[in-house]
Structure 1
Amino acid sequence: MVKPTLLVLAAGMGSRYGSLKQMDGVGPNNEAIIDYSIYDAIRAGFGKVVFVIRHSFAKEFLEVFSADRFGGRIAVEVVYQELENLPEGVTVPEGRVKPWGTNHAVMMAAGAIHEPFAVINADDFYGAEAYRVIGDYLSQLDGSRNRYCMVAYDLNRTLSENGTVSRGVCTVDAKGNLASMVERTQIERMADGRIVFHDGGADEELAEDTPVSMNLFGFTPDYFTYSKEYFGTWYAQNRENLKSEFYIPTMVNKLIGDGTAELRVLRSTAQWHGVTYKEDKPALMAAIEKMIAEGKYPRDLWK
């Protein structure tokens, strides 16, 4: 059994939320969502955390999330996602200012991770059960290749009361592996109770228990090699679109589609929490207080 690593994607600023939400206090002692994620990961047997950040806010970020914060409970490393950090032979197109996306962020950790690893968004509260499920799976993959996983949530447990959301809607085959993942935007619960997505001019209903991706994936290190190799192809197809992004689902769908890898879909009945909008924060804080009252977390997380 191997101790997996947690890769935290914290380089984004959260345009809709309007601030560096990765560091925003949501716990009773100003703990951030990241704190709860790492606390849950430690309990689930993870041995290291790697943060993907940007140099523009590194000083501010590292003043908070240094190894000292976690009391030596877990090793900490930092890598940087910058526009110019590209595979050999690829250059930044003139006029490009937008970051390259989540899978590019994952690629930045290739030199820091040599064991099975989980990828999370810094601003998603996934719940302890999700870390236990993915941690157990990854701990058995030492030396394996092409065997990946993800934790899927029931759609009805991932909505916001304050606006629409985008989710990766998953199709799962008879073996429990991912068959396809399609990004659906503008998903919301309607006044009549139905869950509907509106992207592409459609108004299509989705079932309450539709499995969706919240970017909680598990990979083995060979994933870095595949990503680096494929980035050039993706870049050639998208370089003229200065807002295109190299997403994790893009890479996952490619590897599944060509038969290179299988990705096991692990289901979680946990309630996802997040701060897609500023108005989501009070509900998240109330949920954390409830979990503390139920004994799921201590009031002072790192004491």
Structure 2
Amino acid sequence: MKPTLVILAAGMASRYGSMKQTDGFGPNGETIIEYSIYDAINAGFGKVIFVIKEEFAENFKGIFEPKLKGKIETDYVFQTFDLKPFGIDIEIERSKPWGTAHAVLAARDVVKEPFCVINADDFYGRESYQKMCDFLKNGVSDTQFSMIGFQIDKTLSEHGHVSRGVCEVDADGNLAEIHERTKVYFKPDESGNKTIVFEEEGREYPIRSNSRVSMNFWGFTPKIFELSAGFFKEFALANTDNPKAEFFIPLAAEKLIRNGQASFKVIPTQNQWFGVTYAEDKPIVQECIDRLVAEGEYPKDLWK
């Protein structure tokens, strides 16, 4: 059975200023999502599921269906504010979705096979999909999940701070802990070289340039739906008065590790990650894609 690719695309892209999920970056206006799907098809994935807001559906289908028809099976699920499916009868007022782990739960009725989860606006590189597909076919189980571990110095923006989940990996190559750092950036030193720091309560702390980070590229079986649904219910009820609280995948992963319910193999990659947090990132991403096309990594017209 071929694994499935689940793309999280319900975010509002507030720092970017527009719908970066459907913005064009390739030579013919290809979205970042299209490069992800292209790599996934070549790696051996058999289906792609878009997790979106319901109001995005017509736009998404208009963009992706003509290009993907006959190449890979597609489906769409909606991340909503309805908490009744989780046994919560109260209404909690929010202006944004509940976060990435909640978005994964939106796919629980349509995913029946091993699957991986990615962000819509992140460019991960071909190797990442091949390694994840191989793991989902040969290494995954209901107690052994995975994540692709990127080197932190290959994931930062030149245009501002970013959030990164900095990983500690044990001797068996499994995730031991993940530390959410919400303000990570390059800092030039006196000699002009750049170090990496994160800021917390007004103080700066160094991070090793070869530290592994999570860029939200995870591998699961459908067992994750059962395991994380209860966690989400607890989280939502504990945050009824916190409209900015988000149930992130690393929060669920840490709880599973602490409870001894699952482990997460950290699959290392040397791929250069790039993405669009800020509008200023767009020309850089376009240049990176143009270079990959020129090097023959991707065809100039992705779907011909």
Output the TM-score relative to the length of structure 2. Answer: 0.96
Equivalent residue for 2:76, pick from 62, 66, 78: 78
Equivalent position of 1:106 in the other structure: 104
Equivalent-residue separation in structure 2 for 1:163 and 1:259 (angstroms): 37
Equivalent-residue separation in structure 2 for 1:293 and 1:7 (angstroms): 29
Equivalent position of 2:246 in the other structure: 245
Deviation at 1:141, TM superposition (A): 4.7
| More divergent stretch after superposition (286-295 vs 78-87) | 78-87
Deviation at 1:88, TM superposition (A): 3.8
Deviation at 1:201, TM superposition (A): 2.4
Equivalent position of 1:57 in the other structure: 56
Equivalent residue for 1:156, pick from 146, 153, 158: 153
Cα RMSD of the aligned pairs, angstroms, is 1.3
Equivalent-residue separation in structure 2 for 1:80 and 1:167 (angstroms): 26
Equivalent position of 1:289 in the other structure: 290
Letter matched to residue 155 of structure 1: I
1:127 aligned onto 2:128: no
Equivalent-residue separation in structure 2 for 1:85 and 1:18 (angstroms): 29
Equivalent position of 2:178 in the other structure: 181
Letter matched to residue 258 of structure 1: N
Letter matched to residue 33 of structure 2: I
Equivalent-residue separation in structure 2 for 1:156 and 1:254 (angstroms): 27
Which whole-Å deviations, capped at 9, do the CAs of 1:60-85 have from their partners, x for residues lacking one? 1211122x312411110110011115
Equivalent position of 1:37 in the other structure: 36
Which whole-Å deviations, capped at 9, do the CAs of 1:137-156 have from their partners, x for residues lacking one? 011257x3121000010000
Equivalent-residue separation in structure 1 for 2:99 and 2:54 (angstroms): 16
Equivalent-residue separation in structure 2 for 1:125 and 1:138 (angstroms): 20
1:148 is paired with a residue of what secondary structure? strand
Equivalent-residue separation in structure 2 for 1:127 and 1:199 (angstroms): 31
Closer, same or farther in 2 for the Cα pair 1:300/1:225, shift >3 Å? same
Deviation at 1:230, TM superposition (A): 1.8
1:99 is paired with a residue of what secondary structure? coil
Which whole-Å deviations, capped at 9, do the CAs of 1:255-285 have from their partners, x for residues lacking one? 0111000100000100001011110111111
**How does 1:85-234 map onto structure 2 within 5 Å?**
85-91=83-89, 93-141=91-139, 144-192=141-189, 193-234=194-235
1:6 aligned onto 2:5: yes
Equivalent-residue separation in structure 2 for 1:10 and 1:95 (angstroms): 21
Deviation at 1:96, TM superposition (A): 2.5
Deviation at 1:191, TM superposition (A): 1.6
> 1:104, 1:247 within 8 Å by CA — same for their partners in 2?
yes
Equivalent-residue separation in structure 1 for 2:291 and 2:86 (angstroms): 50
Q: Could you tell me which runs of 5 or more consecutive residues in structure 1 were left unpaired when the two chains were aligned.
A: none
Which whole-Å deviations, capped at 9, do the CAs of 1:221-249 have from their partners, x for residues lacking one? 10001111222212222222121111111
Closer, same or farther in 2 for the Cα pair 1:86/1:125, shift >3 Å? farther
Closer, same or farther in 2 for the Cα pair 1:81/1:92, shift >3 Å? farther
1:194 is paired with a residue of what secondary structure? strand
> 1:164, 1:188 within 8 Å by CA — same for their partners in 2?
yes
Q: Could you tell me which runs of 5 or more consecutive residues in structure 2 were left unpaired when the two chains were aligned.
A: none
> 1:83, 1:92 within 8 Å by CA — same for their partners in 2?
no
> 2:15, 2:277 within 8 Å by CA — same for their partners in 1?
yes
Equivalent-residue separation in structure 1 for 2:93 and 2:71 (angstroms): 43
Equivalent-residue separation in structure 1 for 2:135 and 2:69 (angstroms): 26
Closer, same or farther in 2 for the Cα pair 1:217/1:211, shift >3 Å? same
In the alignment of these two chains, the number of paired residues is 300
> 2:83, 2:91 within 8 Å by CA — same for their partners in 1?
no
Of all paired residues, the percent bearing the same amino acid is 49
> 2:57, 2:76 within 8 Å by CA — same for their partners in 1?
no
Letter matched to residue 11 of structure 1: A
1:252 is paired with a residue of what secondary structure? helix
Output the TM-score relative to the length of structure 1. Answer: 0.96
Which whole-Å deviations, capped at 9, do the CAs of 1:80-106 have from their partners, x for residues lacking one? 011115434214545323211111110
> 1:87, 1:228 within 8 Å by CA — same for their partners in 2?
no
1:139 is paired with a residue of what secondary structure? helix
